[in-house]
Amino acid sequence: MIDINLIRTNPDLVRENIKKKFQDDKLPLVDEVLELDKKNRAVIQRASDLRAQRNKISKQIGAMMAQGKAGETEAAKQQVKDMQDEMAALEAQEDEYAQEIRKRMMVIPQIIDPSVPIGRDDSQNVENERFGEPVVPAWEVPYHIDIMERLNGIDLDAARLTSGNGFYYLKGDIARLHSAILAYARDFMIDRGFTYFVPPFMIHGSVVNGVMSFAEMENMMYKIEGEDLYLIGTSEHSMIGKFIGQLLDESALPQTLTSYSPCFRKEVGAHGIEERGVYRIHQFEKQEMIVVCKPEESMDWYNKMWQYTVDFFRSMDIPVRTLECCSGDLADLKVKSCDVEAWSPRQKKYFEVGSCSNLGDAQARRLNIRVKGADGKKYLPHTLNNTVVAPPRMLIAFLENNLQPDGSIRIPQPLRMYMGGKEEIR
283 shares its domain with 334? yes
> Which residues constitute the domain of residue 207?
122-425
Average pLDDT score, the chain: 92
**Which tens digits make up the pLDDT trace of 195-249?**
999 999 999 999 998 888 766 777 788 999 999 999 999 999 999 999 999 999 9
Predicted local distance difference test score (pLDDT) of residue 275: 63
- The domain tally of the chain equals 2
In a domain, 292, yes or no: yes
pLDDT band for position 166 (cuts 50, 70, 90): confident
pLDDT band for position 274 (cuts 50, 70, 90): low
Range 285-305 average pLDDT: 97
Q: Alpha helices of 242-320 — where are they, by DSSP H?
A: 298-314
100 shares its domain with 206? no
Looking at per-residue confidence, does 67 or 253 come out higher? 253
79 shares its domain with 133? no
Predicted local distance difference test score (pLDDT) of residue 214: 66
Looking at per-residue confidence, does 21 or 265 come out higher? 21
**Which tens digits make up the pLDDT trace of 41-50?**
999 999 999 9
Q: Cα–Cα distance between 362 and 200 in angstroms, integer?
A: 22
95 shares its domain with 130? no
**Which tens digits make up the pLDDT trace of 82-117?**
888 888 999 999 999 999 999 999 999 999 999 999
Predicted local distance difference test score (pLDDT) of residue 358: 98
Cross-strand pairs, 291: 256, 384
The domain that contains 320 carries what CATH number? 3.30.930.10
188 shares its domain with 78? no
161 shares its domain with 301? yes
Predicted local distance difference test score (pLDDT) of residue 158: 95
Predicted local distance difference test score (pLDDT) of residue 266: 87
Angle between helices 172-190 and 298-314 (to 10 degrees): 140
Domain edge (last residue) among 105, 135, 160: 105
For the chain, the residue count is 426
94 shares its domain with 157? no
In a domain, 267, yes or no: yes
Q: Alpha helices of 67-150 — where are they, by DSSP H?
A: 70-105, 144-150
In a domain, 349, yes or no: yes
**Which tens digits make up the pLDDT trace of 342-373?**
999 999 999 999 999 999 999 999 999 999 99
184 shares its domain with 333? yes
379 shares its domain with 411? yes
154 shares its domain with 101? no
Predicted local distance difference test score (pLDDT) of residue 279: 83
In single-letter form, the type of residue at position 414 comes to P
What percentage of the chain has pLDDT greater than the value 70?
97
Pairing of strands 320-324, 336-344: antiparallel
In a domain, 129, yes or no: yes
Domain edge (last residue) among 54, 71, 105: 105
Contacts of 379 (CB under 8 A, 6+ apart): 295, 370, 371, 373
In a domain, 162, yes or no: yes
In a domain, 208, yes or no: yes
In a domain, 167, yes or no: yes
Q: Cα–Cα distance between 391 and 139 in angstroms, integer?
A: 25
Predicted local distance difference test score (pLDDT) of residue 272: 59
- Taking 60 as the threshold, does the pLDDT of residue 270 lie above it? no
25 shares its domain with 135? no
In a domain, 231, yes or no: yes
Domain edge (last residue) among 76, 105, 134: 105
Instruction: Return the DSSP state at 260.
Output: E
The domain that contains 70 carries what CATH number? 1.10.287.40
Q: Cα–Cα distance between 385 and 338 in angstroms, integer?
A: 11
List Cβ<8 Å contacts ≥24 apart for 86-91.
86/50, 87/47, 87/50, 87/51, 87/54, 90/43, 90/46, 90/47, 90/50, 91/47
80 shares its domain with 135? no
